[in-house]
Structure 1
Amino acid sequence: MDIRARTDRLAQLLEQRLDIRGTGFETKLRRAGRLLPRHLRRDGARLVEAMKLSDHPRLGRQVDPKQLEKSADAIERYLLSLDAWDRRRGIAVSFSASVLLNLLILIALVAGILLWRGLL
Protein backbone atom coordinates (compact mmCIF):
# COMPACT_ATOMS: atom_id res chain seq x y z
CA MET A 1 0.00 0.00 0.00
CA ASP A 2 1.33 3.40 -0.92
CA ILE A 3 0.55 5.65 2.03
CA ARG A 4 1.00 8.86 0.02
CA ALA A 5 -1.46 7.84 -2.69
CA ARG A 6 -4.00 6.71 -0.12
CA THR A 7 -3.82 9.92 1.92
CA ASP A 8 -4.06 11.98 -1.29
CA ARG A 9 -7.28 10.12 -2.09
CA LEU A 10 -8.59 10.78 1.43
CA ALA A 11 -7.65 14.47 1.14
CA GLN A 12 -9.58 14.66 -2.11
CA LEU A 13 -12.63 13.06 -0.45
CA LEU A 14 -12.40 15.47 2.49
CA GLU A 15 -12.52 18.35 0.04
CA GLN A 16 -15.39 16.92 -2.01
CA ARG A 17 -17.60 15.67 0.80
CA LEU A 18 -16.93 18.15 3.62
CA ASP A 19 -15.86 21.23 1.59
CA ILE A 20 -12.55 21.46 3.43
CA ARG A 21 -9.85 23.44 1.70
CA GLY A 22 -6.15 23.20 2.30
CA THR A 23 -3.00 21.61 1.00
CA GLY A 24 -2.38 18.01 1.93
CA PHE A 25 -4.08 15.45 4.08
CA GLU A 26 -2.70 16.67 7.40
CA THR A 27 -4.04 20.21 6.96
CA LYS A 28 -7.44 19.04 5.78
CA LEU A 29 -7.71 16.55 8.61
CA ARG A 30 -6.91 19.25 11.16
CA ARG A 31 -9.49 21.59 9.59
CA ALA A 32 -12.12 18.86 9.58
CA GLY A 33 -12.05 18.84 13.37
CA ARG A 34 -15.39 17.81 14.79
CA LEU A 35 -16.90 17.11 11.39
CA LEU A 36 -15.30 13.68 11.76
CA PRO A 37 -16.11 11.26 14.58
CA ARG A 38 -13.45 10.86 17.26
CA HIS A 39 -12.36 7.37 16.21
CA LEU A 40 -11.84 8.58 12.63
CA ARG A 41 -9.82 11.59 13.81
CA ARG A 42 -7.66 9.10 15.72
CA ASP A 43 -7.28 6.94 12.60
CA GLY A 44 -6.36 10.04 10.60
CA ALA A 45 -3.72 10.99 13.15
CA ARG A 46 -2.33 7.47 12.83
CA LEU A 47 -2.07 7.93 9.04
CA VAL A 48 -0.35 11.31 9.43
CA GLU A 49 2.17 9.80 11.85
CA ALA A 50 2.80 6.93 9.42
CA MET A 51 3.44 9.42 6.62
CA LYS A 52 6.09 11.11 8.75
CA LEU A 53 7.69 7.79 9.72
CA SER A 54 7.69 6.46 6.18
CA ASP A 55 10.17 9.16 5.15
CA HIS A 56 12.78 7.64 7.44
CA PRO A 57 14.32 4.33 6.26
CA ARG A 58 14.53 2.62 9.66
CA LEU A 59 11.50 4.14 11.33
CA GLY A 60 9.38 3.35 8.30
CA ARG A 61 9.59 -0.35 9.17
CA GLN A 62 7.75 0.27 12.44
CA VAL A 63 4.56 1.10 10.60
CA ASP A 64 1.92 -1.63 10.57
CA PRO A 65 0.50 -1.71 7.02
CA LYS A 66 -2.60 -3.70 8.00
CA GLN A 67 -3.55 -1.18 10.67
CA LEU A 68 -2.99 1.70 8.24
CA GLU A 69 -5.10 -0.01 5.60
CA LYS A 70 -7.86 -0.53 8.16
CA SER A 71 -7.69 3.12 9.26
CA ALA A 72 -7.73 4.43 5.69
CA ASP A 73 -10.64 2.13 4.78
CA ALA A 74 -12.67 3.35 7.77
CA ILE A 75 -12.15 7.00 6.87
CA GLU A 76 -12.89 6.40 3.20
CA ARG A 77 -16.03 4.41 3.98
CA TYR A 78 -17.32 7.21 6.21
CA LEU A 79 -16.56 9.95 3.69
CA LEU A 80 -18.19 8.03 0.85
CA SER A 81 -21.34 7.59 2.95
CA LEU A 82 -21.72 11.36 3.35
CA ASP A 83 -23.89 13.32 0.97
CA ALA A 84 -22.47 16.80 0.41
CA TRP A 85 -25.77 18.14 -0.94
CA ASP A 86 -27.71 16.88 2.08
CA ARG A 87 -25.16 18.48 4.40
CA ARG A 88 -25.44 21.85 2.63
CA ARG A 89 -29.22 21.64 2.70
CA GLY A 90 -29.13 20.96 6.45
CA ILE A 91 -26.92 24.00 7.01
CA ALA A 92 -29.32 26.17 4.96
CA VAL A 93 -32.37 24.90 6.83
CA SER A 94 -30.67 25.49 10.18
CA PHE A 95 -29.70 29.04 9.20
CA SER A 96 -33.21 29.78 7.92
CA ALA A 97 -34.81 28.45 11.10
CA SER A 98 -32.48 30.60 13.19
CA VAL A 99 -33.35 33.75 11.23
CA LEU A 100 -37.07 32.94 11.42
CA LEU A 101 -36.93 32.38 15.18
CA ASN A 102 -35.12 35.69 15.69
CA LEU A 103 -37.68 37.45 13.52
CA LEU A 104 -40.58 35.99 15.54
CA ILE A 105 -38.92 37.07 18.78
CA LEU A 106 -38.48 40.60 17.39
CA ILE A 107 -42.13 40.76 16.29
CA ALA A 108 -43.28 39.55 19.72
CA LEU A 109 -41.05 42.12 21.43
CA VAL A 110 -42.37 44.98 19.28
CA ALA A 111 -45.97 43.84 19.86
CA GLY A 112 -45.29 43.64 23.61
CA ILE A 113 -43.87 47.16 23.71
CA LEU A 114 -46.82 48.50 21.69
CA LEU A 115 -49.27 46.80 24.06
CA TRP A 116 -47.42 48.12 27.10
CA ARG A 117 -47.54 51.68 25.77
CA GLY A 118 -51.22 51.32 24.84
CA LEU A 119 -50.73 51.85 21.14
CA LEU A 120 -52.19 48.49 20.17
Structure 2
Amino acid sequence: MDLDRRADKLARLIEARLDAGGTGLEAKVAHAGRRLPKYLRRELGYIVEAMRMQASPRLSRQIDWARVERAFAAAERYLRRVDPWDRRRGIALDWLAGNAFNLLIVAALVAAVIAWRGL
Protein backbone atom coordinates (compact mmCIF):
# COMPACT_ATOMS: atom_id res chain seq x y z
CA MET A 1 0.00 0.00 0.00
CA ASP A 2 1.42 3.36 -1.01
CA LEU A 3 0.47 5.38 2.04
CA ASP A 4 2.33 8.55 1.07
CA ARG A 5 0.74 8.74 -2.37
CA ARG A 6 -2.76 8.31 -0.96
CA ALA A 7 -2.05 10.84 1.79
CA ASP A 8 -0.93 13.38 -0.81
CA LYS A 9 -4.11 12.77 -2.78
CA LEU A 10 -6.16 13.25 0.38
CA ALA A 11 -4.22 16.42 1.25
CA ARG A 12 -5.00 17.88 -2.18
CA LEU A 13 -8.67 17.02 -1.68
CA ILE A 14 -8.72 18.76 1.73
CA GLU A 15 -7.07 21.81 0.19
CA ALA A 16 -9.53 21.93 -2.69
CA ARG A 17 -12.69 21.35 -0.66
CA LEU A 18 -11.91 23.12 2.64
CA ASP A 19 -9.33 25.74 1.57
CA ALA A 20 -6.86 24.38 4.14
CA GLY A 21 -3.29 25.55 3.76
CA GLY A 22 -0.04 23.96 4.79
CA THR A 23 2.26 21.37 3.31
CA GLY A 24 1.41 17.75 3.81
CA LEU A 25 -1.58 15.98 5.26
CA GLU A 26 -0.81 16.73 8.90
CA ALA A 27 -0.60 20.49 8.34
CA LYS A 28 -3.76 20.56 6.24
CA VAL A 29 -5.74 18.61 8.83
CA ALA A 30 -4.50 20.97 11.55
CA HIS A 31 -5.41 23.99 9.43
CA ALA A 32 -8.86 22.62 8.58
CA GLY A 33 -9.50 22.11 12.28
CA ARG A 34 -13.16 22.25 13.19
CA ARG A 35 -14.29 22.35 9.59
CA LEU A 36 -13.83 18.58 9.77
CA PRO A 37 -16.11 16.43 11.94
CA LYS A 38 -14.58 15.04 15.12
CA TYR A 39 -14.67 11.42 13.95
CA LEU A 40 -12.90 12.37 10.74
CA ARG A 41 -10.18 14.33 12.56
CA ARG A 42 -9.57 11.23 14.68
CA GLU A 43 -9.33 8.99 11.61
CA LEU A 44 -7.05 11.41 9.79
CA GLY A 45 -4.90 11.55 12.92
CA TYR A 46 -4.53 7.79 12.71
CA ILE A 47 -3.42 8.08 9.08
CA VAL A 48 -0.80 10.66 10.08
CA GLU A 49 0.35 8.37 12.90
CA ALA A 50 0.55 5.43 10.49
CA MET A 51 2.71 7.54 8.15
CA ARG A 52 5.11 8.19 11.03
CA MET A 53 5.09 4.53 12.04
CA GLN A 54 5.78 3.43 8.48
CA ALA A 55 9.17 5.14 8.62
CA SER A 56 10.35 2.66 11.25
CA PRO A 57 10.61 -1.02 10.23
CA ARG A 58 9.66 -2.25 13.70
CA LEU A 59 6.74 0.10 14.14
CA SER A 60 5.43 -0.46 10.63
CA ARG A 61 4.34 -3.97 11.61
CA GLN A 62 1.96 -2.48 14.18
CA ILE A 63 -0.08 -0.50 11.67
CA ASP A 64 -3.69 -1.60 11.44
CA TRP A 65 -4.06 -1.51 7.67
CA ALA A 66 -7.78 -2.23 7.81
CA ARG A 67 -8.31 0.87 9.94
CA VAL A 68 -6.10 2.91 7.63
CA GLU A 69 -8.20 1.76 4.68
CA ARG A 70 -11.44 2.62 6.51
CA ALA A 71 -10.03 6.03 7.44
CA PHE A 72 -9.10 6.81 3.83
CA ALA A 73 -12.53 5.68 2.63
CA ALA A 74 -14.36 7.76 5.26
CA ALA A 75 -12.28 10.85 4.54
CA GLU A 76 -12.73 10.60 0.78
CA ARG A 77 -16.46 9.93 1.16
CA TYR A 78 -16.91 13.01 3.38
CA LEU A 79 -14.71 15.34 1.34
CA ARG A 80 -16.37 14.40 -1.96
CA ARG A 81 -19.71 15.56 -0.51
CA VAL A 82 -18.38 18.98 0.55
CA ASP A 83 -19.25 21.69 -1.95
CA PRO A 84 -16.65 24.45 -1.61
CA TRP A 85 -18.82 27.09 -3.27
CA ASP A 86 -21.77 26.32 -1.02
CA ARG A 87 -19.50 26.55 2.02
CA ARG A 88 -18.10 29.90 0.87
CA ARG A 89 -21.59 31.19 0.11
CA GLY A 90 -22.68 30.20 3.62
CA ILE A 91 -19.74 32.06 5.15
CA ALA A 92 -20.58 35.18 3.12
CA LEU A 93 -24.27 35.02 4.03
CA ASP A 94 -23.44 34.58 7.73
CA TRP A 95 -21.19 37.63 7.55
CA LEU A 96 -23.85 39.69 5.77
CA ALA A 97 -26.57 38.62 8.22
CA GLY A 98 -24.41 39.53 11.19
CA ASN A 99 -23.63 42.96 9.76
CA ALA A 100 -27.29 43.58 8.86
CA PHE A 101 -28.30 42.74 12.44
CA ASN A 102 -25.65 45.11 13.78
CA LEU A 103 -26.92 47.88 11.50
CA LEU A 104 -30.47 47.30 12.75
CA ILE A 105 -29.28 47.60 16.35
CA VAL A 106 -27.40 50.82 15.58
CA ALA A 107 -30.45 52.25 13.76
CA ALA A 108 -32.69 51.34 16.72
CA LEU A 109 -30.26 52.99 19.14
CA VAL A 110 -30.08 56.14 17.01
CA ALA A 111 -33.88 56.26 16.83
CA ALA A 112 -34.08 55.77 20.62
CA VAL A 113 -31.58 58.60 21.23
CA ILE A 114 -33.47 60.90 18.85
CA ALA A 115 -36.76 60.09 20.59
CA TRP A 116 -35.22 60.54 24.02
CA ARG A 117 -33.68 63.90 23.12
CA GLY A 118 -36.98 65.03 21.58
CA LEU A 119 -35.59 65.90 18.17
Whether the TM-score (by the shorter chain) exceeds 0.5 is yes
Kindly provide the CA deviation profile for residues 24-43 of structure 1, in whole angstroms up to 9, marking residues without a partner as x.
00011111111111110110
Q: Name the residue aligned to 1:41.
A: 41
Whether 1:99 aligns to 2:72 is no
Aligned-partner Cα distance in 1 for 2:108–2:118: 15
Where structure 1 has 5 or more consecutive residues not aligned to the other structure, the ranges are: none
Aligned-partner Cα distance in 2 for 1:87–1:32: 13
TM-score (norm 1): 0.97
Q: CA RMSD in A?
A: 0.6
Q: How does 1:1-120 map to 2 (within 5 A)?
A: 1-119=1-119
By relative contact order (CA 8 Å, sep 6+), the higher-ranking structure is: 1
Q: List, as ranges, runs of 4+ consecutive aligned residues in structure 1 with deviation greater than 3 Å.
A: none
Pairs aligned (count): 119
Aligned-partner Cα distance in 1 for 2:37–2:43: 10
Kindly provide the CA deviation profile for residues 7-26 of structure 1, in whole angstroms up to 9, marking residues without a partner as x.
10110011000001110000
TM-score (norm 2): 0.98
